[in-house]
Structure 1
Amino acid sequence: MSIARVVVARVASRAVTPTLRTERLLLEPYAPGDEEDFVALFQDTEVSRWMGDGPATEAEDRALFGRVFTQVYARDLFAVWAVRRDGLLVGHAEIKRTEAVDGHEIIYALAPSAWGRGLGTELAQAVVAHGFGALGLTEVHATVAAENEASLTLLHRIGFQHTRDIEEEDGSTTRVLTRHR
């Protein structure tokens, strides 16, 4: 599915995180009132098992939400979005520089209630388009657990190619995928 349009509107206090619109999704900076929905998304083990180091405690997820404001937005570090559909928070997305790939990595997650509708593809395409357009990147990366077949399939479908594997300390494998402009 193609993106109907991507609208970049800078928010004065959050210059790094613009608002993006796709056919069905709104990606915008988090608001303080999003904390409960953010925590619920990150506490859902079907979602969090694929993010970072896996599930965290509720207190850790609340602290993470706080750091979005006190560090990421306050210091304009990188783009972090609340992903909404029909006004409801249904996901999370980021694009940021990371040492793991020596470049910019996209991160995205959707609530299970939003799975199976093509929204993940729409979301990932919007974040990639932002990287190539507004950020002027020539390549964008994604790191995905080798067992996360759904995300690997989605990324391959939108033009990402497997470039290498990272063997993690716990014995698991993380796939590095790259898409060139």
Structure 2
Amino acid sequence: MTPTLRTERLLLDPYTPDDEEDFVALFQDRRVSRWMGEGPTSEAEDRALFRRVFTQVYARDLFAVWAVRRDGVLIGHAEIKPTEATGGHEIIYALAPAAWGAGLGTELAQAVVAHGFDTLGLTEVHATVAAENTASLTLLARIGFVHVRDIQEDDGSTTRVLTLTRRPPNGP
């Protein structure tokens, strides 16, 4: 079950059916979707993805998927899930452009990582980021992620794999 998480300025909670239009708007914004998965998809595909969050992910308790809200408004999306690409759990996050530049991405990523370490008991959390997505690479480096390898994609692009290892309780 996807738990509700709170940060200083954000609420991460499970989607509700009423979130569909905001979800689709976020995923249809090419400034956001260009960095997600295989890139922009059709509105119909995004609506199908939204339905799968309920019929597969939540129904089968596969992994955590959150609507990200600020002041009651859906401004983003987040997940933490096992992936073959990293051989572990990967964080995924996206914010609407209106929320960029205010430190909310850092706050969001830290909350999802903390859930991975503190609730899921992970010792490592990974992220995969397009090499051209300098804003996300900078954010992740700032919170301690380290570049561990590259994946050469079929289209010739490069995806960076980054890892954050949990520090021992009494460690440095």
Work out whether 1:80 is the aligned partner of 2:65. Answer: yes
| Paired residue type of 2:12 | L
Is 1:26 equivalent to 2:11 in the alignment? yes
- Normalising by the residue count of structure 2, what TM-score does the alignment of the two structures yield? 0.96
Structure 1: gaps of 5 or more residues: 1-14
Q: Which residue of 1 aligns with 2:156?
A: 171
User: Per the alignment, in what secondary structure is the counterpart of residue 4 of structure 2?
Assistant: strand
Residue 180 in structure 1 maps to residue 138 in structure 2 = no
Give the CA deviation at 1:128: 0.1
Root-mean-square deviation (Å): 0.2
Question: Is 1:92 paired with 2:77?
Answer: yes
Identity %: 84
Aligned residues: 166
Deviating above 4 A after TM superposition, structure 1's stretches of 4 or more consecutive aligned residues are: none
Residue 148 in structure 1 maps to residue 133 in structure 2: yes
TM-score by length of 1: 0.92
Match for residue 71 of structure 1 among 56, 68, 76: 56
Shift of 1:145: 0.0
Q: Which runs of 5+ in 2 are unaligned?
A: 167-172
CA distance in 2, matches of 1:41, 1:169: 26
Q: Deviations over 1:100-147 (max 9, x none)?
A: 000000000000000000000000000000000000000000000000
User: CA–CA distance in 2 between the matches of 1:177 and 1:32?
Assistant: 33
* Residue from 33, 50, 60 that aligns with 1:48: 33
